[in-house]
Amino acid sequence: MNSKSQVTSLIKAKAAALGFHSCGIARAVQLNEDARRLEAWLNKGLHGSMHYMEKHFDLRIDPQKLVPGAKSVITLLLNYFPEEQQQAGTPRIAKYAWGNDYHDVIRGKLNELLLAMQTEIGAVQGRGFVDSAPVLERSWAVRSGLGWVGKNGNLINRQQGSFFFLATLICDLELEYDSPFAKDFCGTCNRCVEACPTEAILPNKVVDGSRCISYFTIELKDLLIPDEMKGRFENWMFGCDTCQDVCPWNRFSQPTTEPAFRPLPEILNLSTREWEALTEERFRELFRHSPLKRSKYSGIRRNLQFIQDPSGSCSLSR
């Protein structure tokens, strides 16, 4: 198997067999334009206290610094859209966090994909990345033809909407490359901008990360959420899906077939009172494989207190 066409087809077929719903491939080059946008965003302080985003800037824009001799960036989409719904009135949790931690699920699939490439093709050097590494996944997804970046900052795919995870595999193989996605199908639609509870979506596809509900409920490590956000969380306890829920393109979302993303019953059904009564030991037991552990028990308690009593008086003990 020597032709680029055969090798590319093999990789895409294996990705599909592993459950990835889309696979696009781009040439590994420096992302100079993206670097300028990222630098401007950071200089404006729109990342809030997420100081890790300031680090490894050179790695984010040059794939060859992550994989020496890199020639191709493979981008993969994995659907997480659930068939179920949370019970009305329960503390709201972003859909991506309803099942097992996607980092663990996707890392396993990327390792399998790389192993298959090494087995079927030969000596291949590569590394898989999912979210926690300095990789500009959305830029690579656009370059590999998988969609466009919407006004809410999410990658949108015409066939799937935006409820999917992004992953990349950088390798030293010369492959056939997909054409970049050149159109923007958001048009004049501003539903996500108008619906954002904290007005975090700014003009020109800029998102103020320091005002996003996901930032406050997951990334912010302070004991207190700023007073200016009182009454604006719309019962979101962990993350926020508002901008995706109102996006017209998500009418095409289909339920995931990935068993690991099957929702935990507690996330769908626990009432506010039951969340309040949850002990730290029980929390760790129930959510040991869940993204909710990222906020820790103390963070969930803080968030719950804020959405239940945004006036600031504390009814929950720490």
Q: b/e for 6-41, b at 16 or more Cβ within 10 A?
A: ebbeebbebbeebbbbbbbbbebeebeebbeebeeb
For every residue of 279-300, DSSP letters joined together read: -HHHHHHHTTTSGGGGTHHHHH
Query: How far, in Å, CA of 198 to CA of 195, rounded?
Result: 9
Integer CA distances (angstroms), 211 to 46, 217, 221, in order:
8, 11, 14
Query: How far, in Å, CA of 191 to CA of 152, rounded?
Result: 10
Identify whether the C-beta of residue 7 lies closer than 8 Å to the C-beta of residue 175: yes
For every residue of 297-310, DSSP letters joined together read: HHHHHHHHHHHH-T
E-state strands within 141-200: 148-149, 155-156, 164-171
Query: How far, in Å, CA of 44 to CA of 42, rounded?
Result: 5
Closest CA to 196 of 226, 230, 241: 241
Closest CA to 304 of 209, 208, 235, 212: 235
Identify whether the C-beta of residue 98 lies closer than 8 Å to the C-beta of residue 165: no
Query: How far, in Å, CA of 38 to CA of 101, rounded?
Result: 27
The token pair that represents 106 in the structure block? 């996707």
Query: How far, in Å, CA of 8 to CA of 175, rounded?
Result: 6
From the candidates 58, 131, 184, 245, give the one annotated as an active-site residue.
Answer: 131
Radius of gyration of the chain (CA): 20
Residue 131 designated active-site: yes
Query: How far, in Å, CA of 203 to CA of 218, rounded?
Result: 24
Identity at 233, one-letter amino acid code: F
Active site residues: 131
